[in-house]
Amino acid sequence: MQIQITQIINKPVAAVWEVLGKQFGQMHHWASVVHHAEGRGAHIAQAVCDQRVCQVAGMGQIREKVLEFDEKNFVLKYEVQEGFPFFVKRGVNRWSLSDEGSATRVTIVADVETQGIVGAIMAPMMKMQLSRMLNQTAEELKYYVENNEIHPRKQKAIARSRPKLSPA
């Protein structure tokens, strides 16, 4: 299955690439679906790492590996190597940025390959869930880059994850 999302961000390409590409290991700073992320692996170009491990809402821990990091053409492509359910054979996300004058067009293409009978049954529901997740993530990236602060949805996710302490 393939999912494609497009978002216009009212900032130059360099500002968007700074967050998306160069801060690849820090997605948890702005994306509500990512509770925590850590960059791992080797340094590539100006990114901190070629891998990241994320704690993702509704999915648990996933590990991703960069397949393409093109600073000249503003392309980031990575594969989920661990953490998908057993019926997902492969998942690859490709983010590309293009200059739209004073704005940036962000295009996300997610290719997910399911397997077996369970994969065939779950594919439509998974496509809906991933589409919603990618749309929200693109919206939160836009908000973060344009406003230099996290989206209200991320603020709520942070508040929900704080431990509840009983009164003294």
Can you tell me the distance from the alpha carbon of 154 to that of 35, in angstroms, rounded to the nearest whole number?
A: 9
DSSP state, residue 93: E
Note if the pTM is more than 0.75.
yes
pLDDT grade, residue 13 (50/70/90)?
very high
Convert the pLDDT of each residue in 140-155 to its tens digit.
999 999 999 999 999 9
Q: Helices in 18-164 by DSSP H: which ranges?
A: 116-147, 152-161
pLDDT grade, residue 47 (50/70/90)?
low
pLDDT at 158: 85
Can you tell me the distance from the alpha carbon of 142 to that of 149, in angstroms, rounded to the nearest whole number?
A: 10
Convert the pLDDT of each residue in 25-35 to its tens digit.
899 999 999 99
Contact 37, 63 (CB under 8 A): no
Tell me the mean pLDDT in the region 37-51. 82
Question: Is pLDDT of 118 > 80?
Answer: yes
pLDDT at 163: 66
Residue 3's CB is within 10 A of a number of other CB atoms, namely 19
Question: Is pLDDT of 59 > 90?
Answer: no
- Which has the minimum average pLDDT: 44-58, 59-73, 124-138? 44-58
SS (H, E, C) 55-71: EECCCEEEEEEEEEEEC
